[in-house]
């Protein structure tokens, strides 16, 4: 397997490097970390980052799909920044364990974050 440090360059990043990256709000508060990335199989476009939020030692975490377009990468923080506070995040669409993705669920997520929907 290739060394991910050698193939990551510029604005490209290996998915293994995204997993575990911290997500902050604009105030600099840590909200959670990226647990997974949802990628369109056909276009290869990243559509959602699944952020783990809440819980303790990995138990009771909620999983929040964040539209990729709401994430800004901050080089100084070495993490993603979103325009959310913890209150808005607590009310956001989430799931505890497994979920079956559907266009209806995806549209609900996109509407909450007020971004154009992927699900046309």
Is residue 31 within 8 A of residue 88, CB to CB? The reply is no
Which of 2, 31, 32 has the alpha carbon at shortest distance from 15? 2
Is residue 80 within 8 A of residue 71, CB to CB? The reply is yes
Mean pLDDT on 63-79: 94
Tell me which of 62 and 25 has the higher pLDDT.
25
Structure confidence at residue 9 as a pLDDT band (50, 70, 90): low
Q: What is the pTM of this model?
A: 0.83
pLDDT at 39: 92
pLDDT at 15: 84
pLDDT at 70: 96
Residue 90 has pLDDT above 70, yes or no: yes
Structure confidence at residue 58 as a pLDDT band (50, 70, 90): low
pLDDT at 71: 96
Mean pLDDT on 64-85: 93
Give the distance, in angstroms, between the CA of residue 62 and the centroid of all CA atoms in the same chain.
Answer: 12
User: What number of CA atoms fall less than 13 Å from residue 105's CA on the CB side?
Assistant: 11
Candidates 1.10.10.60, 3.90.79.10, 2.20.28.270, 2.30.30.240; CATH matching 4-112: 2.30.30.240
Mean pLDDT on 107-111: 95
Cβ neighbors of 54 (< 8 A, separation 6 or more) are 32, 60, 61, 62
């Amino acid at each position: 397997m290739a060394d991910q440090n050698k193939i990551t360059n510029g604005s490209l990043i290996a998915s293994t490097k995204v997993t575990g990256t911290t997500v902050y709000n604009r105030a600099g508060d840590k909200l959670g970390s990226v647990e997974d990335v949802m990628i369109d199989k056909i276009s290869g476009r990243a559509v959602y980052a699944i952020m783990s939020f809440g819980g303790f030692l990995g138990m009771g975490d909620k999983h929040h799909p964040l539209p990729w377009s709401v994430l800004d990468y901050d080089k100084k923080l070495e993490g993603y920044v979103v325009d959310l506070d913890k209150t808005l995040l607590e009310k956001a669409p989430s799931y505890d364990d497994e979920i079956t993705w559907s266009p209806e669920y995806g549209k609900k997520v996109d509407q909450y974050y007020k971004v154009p929907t992927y699900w046309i």
